[in-house]
Amino acid sequence: MLPWLSGTDPALAVLRARSADQDPTPEQLAAVREQVGLDQGPLAHLVRWLGGLSRGDAGVSWVSGEPVLPEVATAFAVSVTLMLGALVVTVAVAALVCARTLRQGAELRLREERAGTAAAFLAALPKFLLASLLATVFAVWLGWFPSSGWEGPASMVLPALALGVPSGAVIGGLLAQSLPAAFAEPWVRTWHACGFPPGYIARHGLRGAVAGVLPQLLPTIVGLVGGAVAVEKIFNIPGLGRLALDAAVARDLPPLQTATLVLVLLGVVAGLLVRAARRGMLGPALRDGALPALNPPALRPHRFTRWIGGFCALALLTLLVAGLSRDPLHVDTAARLAAPSIEHPLGTDSLGRDLLARLGHGALRTTALALGVTAVSVLIGLLLGMTGRVSAGLTEVASTLPAVLAGLLTTAVTGPSVWGAACAVCLVAWTPYAVQAAALFEQERATEHVRVSKSLGASPVHLMRRSLLPAVLPSVLRNAVLRLPTTVLVLASLGFLGLGEQPPAPEWGRLLSENQPYLELAPWTVLGPAGALVLLSVLAVSSTTGPASPGRRTLVAVLSGRRR
């Protein structure tokens, strides 16, 4: 329904994609409509396309005239191969992030809560920026790997690193948060006293913690296949995400529909596999209501947490105050891509505009919009997560929709605007929180204390306020904090495509997108926005870490109805 919702003539988009003709004649448009059957409307087109699928025919491309199914199958094979490589990197990075917590927990030496700054730093790295940096250093300068194309295993290394490092940081950060609760169970001390080796204890503790984090692999898997558009474009990889985006922009519906269907099927299959693996890890205790409660021990905050948070807050405040005193729209062509100096502390962009001014003026707008989108997404995810299996199918399907396609659909109805982009991100950004909340709610409902509370007559509302929400909400909030930079970058990608924030608005993510082509020539043009994004991520994580952070405890208490 995309072309019809936009109110534009689909034949015009198809004709321009074919020949770039800006002034087509009515005869040309009529010929295109008749050729592809546009006069019959979207419903007839969809029915005809579905009928062809039953015969193994997905139609032909309106732009190239080539059969769709072989093209989509080739792109899907490339994307799945890239996804497998990125998953290996994701698992490796996640293991490195939580290795110290795992070792200390197995040896009963876990006394401090990890600050999580390393995970926040890696999670805040923009994938397209990391891809450009890796391509510049290891492909152009050192010549170790190909800089573009898809010709063999060597072509997969740099894209897999660009996709897997931020994803692994998110998974590792969530796992590091879950491990203390697993190692606080009584069996750990008993096994340690009986002389079991720490490695053996670590494996069993990790099994319980992974079960709560495993559902996060569902949006990660689908995102690595359908959401890797920027990385695929940088490395010139003919993947499924790039194919879907190009087809959506050109209104080439047959390949777009087929690619979307493949992503939906992938999401459903991945969801079934993740759910089966999680149930296998939890074992019969999930069915019998004998799981331990999700109660992490009271660990003292890391000694550097307050210092790190204070430094990030001071740096961002300085950036804001110094930037607001400058003009973010002043163009000085004589100072294009000027290096940092006293006059321009962070340098200038390709139009000679002061980067410090643009970062300062975009700080409040970027942070407020990202926090608003994240809050709405968390709320939707919690509400749907409470329903458990009822929303499982919806979550799996929604997780397959790339934010760019959601942005195209939303823009077709509302037109390009910052609020339309925010709504588009909200349409898909709730899925990681929904799958996490559903898994944690299921585990908490299967604990002994909830079963006893039910037998004593506790109402569902009482259980939700006093037992379930206090156990689930902190983990979901930590997940939201780790994904905050991703929200900023998704909003920026929609603006870069003309679907959201429009130039010359000084939005952080847009600054990254605009200056990414100048990374090798003028690296300061992207280091400033990237550094600000990292500071925001680390500050958010440090402010929600440890018992010394009253904000998180107060929020949980308010939402769960507890009183001090």
DSSP state of 138: I
Q: How far is CA 407 from CA 35, 244, 345, 401, 428, in A?
A: 28, 13, 35, 10, 10
Report the SS3 class of residue 32. Answer: helix
**Cβ neighbours of residue 118 closer than 8 Å, sequence gap 6 or more:** 97, 169
According to CATH, the topology of domain 58-288 is MetI-like fold (1.10.3720)
User: Residue 560: what pLDDT?
Assistant: 44
Measured N-to-C along each axis, helices 10-19 and 26-36 cross at an angle, to the nearest 10 degrees, of: 100
Q: How far is CA 141 from CA 127, 146, 158, 523, in A?
A: 20, 11, 14, 15
User: Which secondary structure element, helix H or strand E, spans residue 112, and what is its range?
Assistant: strand 112-113
User: Residue 379: what pLDDT?
Assistant: 93
Round to whole Å and give the CA distance between 247 and 435: 29
- The encoded tokens of residue 288 equal 């019998």
The whole-number mean pLDDT for each consecutive block of 10 residues of the chain, a chain of 564 residues, reads 66 70 73 75 80 85 85 90 91 91 87 75 82 86 86 88 90 87 87 90 86 80 73 85 80 84 84 85 77 73 77 89 87 86 89 89 85 92 84 77 73 72 85 87 83 83 86 86 80 68 75 80 85 84 57 42 40
Report the SS3 class of residue 60. Answer: strand
Q: How far is CA 535 from CA 56, 125, 172, 549, 550, in A?
A: 51, 11, 19, 18, 21
Identify the CA nearest to 180 among candidates 277, 278, 109, 282: 109
Count of CB atoms within 10 A of residue 326's CB? 18
Round to whole Å and give the CA distance between 266 and 2: 22
User: Residue 497: what pLDDT?
Assistant: 62
CB 11 within 8 A of CB 45: no
Q: Within its chain, how far is the Cα of 303 from the centroid?
A: 30
367-384 confidence digits (pLDDT tens): 888 889 999 999 999 998
Count of CB atoms within 10 A of residue 235's CB? 26
Check the CA dihedral 94-97-99-101 and report its sign.
Answer: negative
Q: How far is CA 453 from CA 350, 431, 441, 467, in A?
A: 64, 30, 15, 10
CB 501 within 8 A of CB 424: no
- SS3 helix, strand, coil % of the chain, rounded to 5? 75, 0, 25
DSSP secondary structure string, 455-498?
A: HTT--HHHHIIIIIHHHHHHHHHHHHHHTHHHHHHHHHHHHHTT
270-278: long-range contacts, CB 8 A cutoff, minimum separation 24: 270/217, 270/218, 270/221, 270/222, 270/396, 271/218, 271/392, 271/395, 271/396, 271/399, 274/214, 274/215, 274/217, 274/218, 275/215, 275/392, 277/214, 278/211, 278/214, 278/215, 278/439
- The encoded tokens of residue 557 equal 């208490």
Report the SS3 class of residue 291. Answer: strand
Count of CB atoms within 10 A of residue 288's CB? 11
Round to whole Å and give the CA distance between 322 and 532: 14
pTM listed for this prediction: 0.82
User: Residue 8: what pLDDT?
Assistant: 64
Any bridge partners for residue 300, and if so which? 112
- The encoded tokens of residue 14 equal 């198809």
User: Residue 90: what pLDDT?
Assistant: 92
Residues of the chain with CATH 1.10.3720.10: 58-288, 311-547
User: Residue 545: what pLDDT?
Assistant: 62
DSSP secondary structure string, 239-250?
A: -HHHHHHHHHHT
Selected from 3.30.930.10, 2.60.120.10, 1.10.3720.10, 3.40.50.12780, the CATH number assigned to the domain covering 311-547 reads 1.10.3720.10
CB 58 within 8 A of CB 68: yes
CB 259 within 8 A of CB 247: yes
Q: Is 292 left (phi over 0), alpha (psi -120 to 50) or beta?
A: beta
